[in-house]
Structure 1
Amino acid sequence: MEDSALNQHTSTVTPGSLRELTNVAVPLVLSCGSLSIMHVVDRIFLTWWSTDAVAAALPAGMIQWTIMSIAMGKAMYVNTFVAQYEGANQRQRVSESVWQGVYLALIWGGLLLLGVPFAGTFFHWIGHTPEVQTLEAEYFSILCLGSGPALLSTVLSCFYTGRSQTMVVMWVNLVSVLVNMLLDYWLIFGVGPIPALGIRGAAIATVAANVVTLLLYLFIILAKHEARLYGLFNHWQFNRELFVRLIRYGFPNGLLYFIDIIGFTLFIVLVGRIGKIELAATTIAFNLNSLAFVPMMGVGTAVMTLVGKRIGEGRPQLAVRTTWKAFAASAAYMLLFAVIYIGFPDLLLRPYEPDIITEDFLKVKQAAVILLRFAALFSFFDALVVVFGSAIRGAGDTRFCMFFSLLTGWAVMVIPTFLIWMYADADEKLFGSWVACTSYISIMGIGYLIRFQAGRWKEMRVIEDHFAEPNPEDSEQPMQGALT
């Protein structure tokens, strides 16, 4: 009866329709949007605490994410396996895929703890100001403790996102964000018997939120009937063939995240070597841009899920229609934020103002206003990157994404930024660095669009070939009715 009820619920939505995309994407957008608000609030609190703290948070957080990114990319790619097996109606393989992701998360979560003892030496080598170095090492070390719970939570979330059950993920993330924001304030500034911990408090709040997220997923999986329906507790055995296939497709996806993040991390590090003001302004600009970009990641996950499901069903042309609908909505959304960045920068920067306006903050604010114009310029191309990059990865085209990101990231952003830092005049270094960053995002977006239009991804899949036979009902008119 549970099986038929589930099928009846999912059959009410027309595959490839705007309603299907909305049902899957909106909870993920709200979920990712709540995460972006959490990061903005975190940075606002740290700005109130000290300029050094907010300057240290972005590079330390990005370096921790860089180290974790390969494992996180693999964990997130469980979503594609779940989606394609779900489309092929192979529920046992759905459960087996989740378990292989769990084993991968446990292994990598343990390995990531090995970086904690070297934090002080590493940030000393980077060469930021001594007071910022100390805060970076503290923030990084504590964040590493939450890597394991974060990876496990990501894998468990794929059991729901891959099956288009995204409301579960939304509610879990909303609770986690609320916990993080409350703990952020209490631990950064101190409340009652809780001492003020500054940037250490922000890191502890993040780790605690990761643990809460993991516990919530475990509770929901144990309480809801889907675990029994999919035999989740009966197919926990290690499956070497499936594990290797997850590595085969997930590793390029993880390396893509690593290449992308390390490129931006090196960009942040080089900007930080220009000066503390430039680093703080860049931190705030990226932080505000996350209000637009991070919710877009929810659209990307939805596109990846629906493309994967259509590949599993043998209907790739429906995936084309869904992708173009997602891009139309995303482009309009990002262009709206572009208008806000250009038209209302003072309003956006007002929450970052400390109680006592210092000369340093006025310099940071002046620079951040200029950087928000760059964010407005590359916001449209961000939509191209997220939507079309997610679409081809949802089919299994991860190696192209990896190599293309590596080539463009270093050739267009990292190396030019290094040369600008070495040889440009002092007053041109920040502007030139952001020109390189904007060029990188623009080229990435155009490249993913061209790859999507070429259509090679339509013949790709991560599941066994006999599970995804071509569907004769699939239309060969990719653009007809794409936006309706």
Structure 2
Amino acid sequence: MEERSSTNSDTLVRPGSLRELANVAIPLVLSCGSLSIMHVVDRIFLTWWSTDAVAAALPAGMIQWAAMSIAMGMATYVNTFVSQYEGAGQKGRVSESVWQGLYLALIWGGILLLGVPLAGTFFHWIDHAPEVQALEVDYFSILCLGSGPALISTVLSCFYTGRGKTMVVMWVNLASVMLNMVLDYCLIFGAGPFPAMGIKGAAIATVAANVSMLVFYAFVIFAKHEAREYGLFNHYRWNRDLFLRLIRYGFPNGMLYFVDIIGFTLFIVLVGRIGKIELAATTIAFNLNSLAFVPMMGVGTAVMTLVGKRIGEGRPQLAVRTTWKAFAASAVYMLLFAAVYVGLPDLLLRPYEPEVITEDFLEVRHTAVVLLRFAALFSFFDAAVVVFGSAIRGAGDTRFCMIFSLVTGWAIMVIPTFLIWKYADAKLFGSWTACTSYLGVLGIGYLIRFQAGHWKKMRVIEDHFPEPASEDPEPTVEEALT
């Protein structure tokens, strides 16, 4: 009876409709939005603590994310396997996919712990200011301890996002974010029984949030009937074919994450070598841009889920409709943020002001105002990158995304930024021009690939189910948006 009522409620929403997209995307947008607020609050607290702390947090955090990115990309790609098997009606395969992802997460989580002893040597090589360098080592080392729980939580979340059950993910993320923000304040500044630990406290709060998220997912899975319905506790065996297929498609997705984050990490490292003020301003500008960009990742996950489901059903033209609707909504959303970046920069920067405004902070604020104009310029292209990139990856087109991102990232952003840092006078603004150009080319390239339609013939699941369903004719862009 439960399964039947669930199915009936799902059929009330027309496949490919804006309502279907909203049902899947809105909880994910709220979930990712809460994460972006968490990161902003974290950086605000660190700004209040010291300029050195906020300057150290971005490069150390990005390098830790780079170390985890391949594994995270593979863990995230479990979502595509779940969505395509769900579309094909293969519940047992859904559970098997989750278990193969868990095995990957456990292996990679253990490997990432090896980065802790190497942190001091690595950050010494980067050669930021000595006082910043010491804080980077502390922040990176503690974050590495939370890598395993973060990867496992991501795989468990795919059991829900891949089936479009995104409300569960939203509530789990909101609960962990609230815990993180409370611990952030207590551990950075010292409150109640907690000592003031500065940037170490911020890292410990993040690790605690990752562990809590894992605990929340475990509780929900044991408490709800879906685990029994999908035989989640019966399909735990290692499946060699499925495991290798997850690596085949998930590894390029993980490499895409890695290439992307390495490009931006090198960008941040080079900016850090310009000076502490430039690094702090860049940290704040990216932090504020995350208010717009990180919720977009929720839209991307929704698009990947719905495209995967349509591929599993054998109805890729419905995926075209969903993708164009998602892009239209995302473009409007990002352009609104662009207007705020340009029109109200002082309002956005006010929470970062310390109690005693120093000369350093005045320089940081002035520079950040200019950098927010760059963020306004590339925000529209961010929408194209997320939506069209997610659509083609939801079908299985991960190798193209990896190669295209690698070539454009190095050719347009990383190498030009290095040359600008080494030879140009306007180092900071030249570097941000290269970054903006890269995002523009990446967004246009993903759009062209999406329009070419190669992804419609791809799938990550077996070919013998289901038979392609009859479909409407290829929609035009105008038809897809209505």
- Where on the TM-score scale, by shorter chain, does this alignment land: which range? over 0.9
Distance 1:433 1:195 in 2: 39
SS of structure 2 residue aligned to 1:317: helix
Query: 1:279 aligns to what?
Result: 279
Query: 1:444 aligns to what?
Result: 442
- The aligned amino acid for 1:446 is I
Query: 2:379 aligns to what?
Result: 379
Distance 2:471 2:297 in 1: 31
Query: 2:214 aligns to what?
Result: 214
Per-residue deviation, 1:456: 0.3
Distance 2:305 2:362 in 1: 44
Distance 1:458 1:192 in 2: 57
The question of whether the paired residues in 2 share the 8 Å contact of 1:311 and 1:395 is answered with: yes
CA RMSD, aligned part only? 0.7
Distance 2:470 2:29 in 1: 33
TM-score (norm 1): 0.99
1:26-54 Cα distance to aligned partner (Å, 9 max, x none):
00000000000000000000000000000
* 1:226-241 pair list within 5 angstroms: 226-241=226-241
The question of whether the paired residues in 2 share the 8 Å contact of 1:318 and 1:475 is answered with: no
Matching of residue 331 in structure 1 with residue 331 in structure 2 = yes
Query: 2:98 aligns to what?
Result: 98
Distance 1:242 1:16 in 2: 29
SS of structure 2 residue aligned to 1:466: coil
Query: 1:144 aligns to what?
Result: 144
The question of whether the paired residues in 1 share the 8 Å contact of 2:321 and 2:475 is answered with: no
Query: 1:366 aligns to what?
Result: 366
1:221-243 Cα distance to aligned partner (Å, 9 max, x none):
00000000000001010000000
Query: 1:454 aligns to what?
Result: 452
Distance 2:30 2:453 in 1: 31
Percent identity among equivalent residues?
A: 81
The question of whether the paired residues in 2 share the 8 Å contact of 1:317 and 1:478 is answered with: no
Query: 2:31 aligns to what?
Result: 31
Distance 2:84 2:60 in 1: 36
Query: 1:404 aligns to what?
Result: 404
Stretches of structure 2 lacking an aligned partner (at least 5 in a row):
none
Distance 1:132 1:70 in 2: 27
Distance 2:381 2:149 in 1: 32
Per-residue deviation, 1:192: 2.5
Query: 1:292 aligns to what?
Result: 292
SS of structure 2 residue aligned to 1:481: helix
TM-score (norm 2): 0.99
Distance 1:195 1:115 in 2: 27
The question of whether the paired residues in 2 share the 8 Å contact of 1:46 and 1:198 is answered with: yes
Please, which moves more after superposition, 247-256 or 461-470?
Answer: 461-470
Query: 1:193 aligns to what?
Result: 193
The question of whether the paired residues in 1 share the 8 Å contact of 2:317 and 2:471 is answered with: no
Per-residue deviation, 1:467: 1.6
Stretches of structure 1 lacking an aligned partner (at least 5 in a row):
none
The question of whether the paired residues in 2 share the 8 Å contact of 1:47 and 1:53 is answered with: yes
- After the TM superposition, list the runs of 4 or more consecutive aligned residues in structure 1 that deviate by more than 3 angstroms: none
Distance 1:452 1:350 in 2: 40
The question of whether the paired residues in 2 share the 8 Å contact of 1:320 and 1:478 is answered with: no
* 1:167-186 pair list within 5 angstroms: 167-186=167-186
The question of whether the paired residues in 2 share the 8 Å contact of 1:316 and 1:474 is answered with: no
1:92-123 Cα distance to aligned partner (Å, 9 max, x none):
00000000000000000000000000101100
The question of whether the paired residues in 2 share the 8 Å contact of 1:75 and 1:250 is answered with: yes
Per-residue deviation, 1:474: 4.2
SS of structure 1 residue aligned to 2:334: helix
Per-residue deviation, 1:469: 2.4
Distance 1:344 1:192 in 2: 36
Please, which moves more after superposition, 3-12 or 192-201?
Answer: 3-12
SS of structure 1 residue aligned to 2:475: coil
Per-residue deviation, 1:478: 4.6
Matching of residue 261 in structure 1 with residue 261 in structure 2 = yes
The question of whether the paired residues in 1 share the 8 Å contact of 2:105 and 2:148 is answered with: yes
Distance 1:118 1:224 in 2: 42
- The aligned amino acid for 1:247 is I
Q: Alpha carbons of 1:311 and 1:372: their partners in 2 closer, same or farther (altered >3 Å)?
A: same
Query: 2:52 aligns to what?
Result: 52
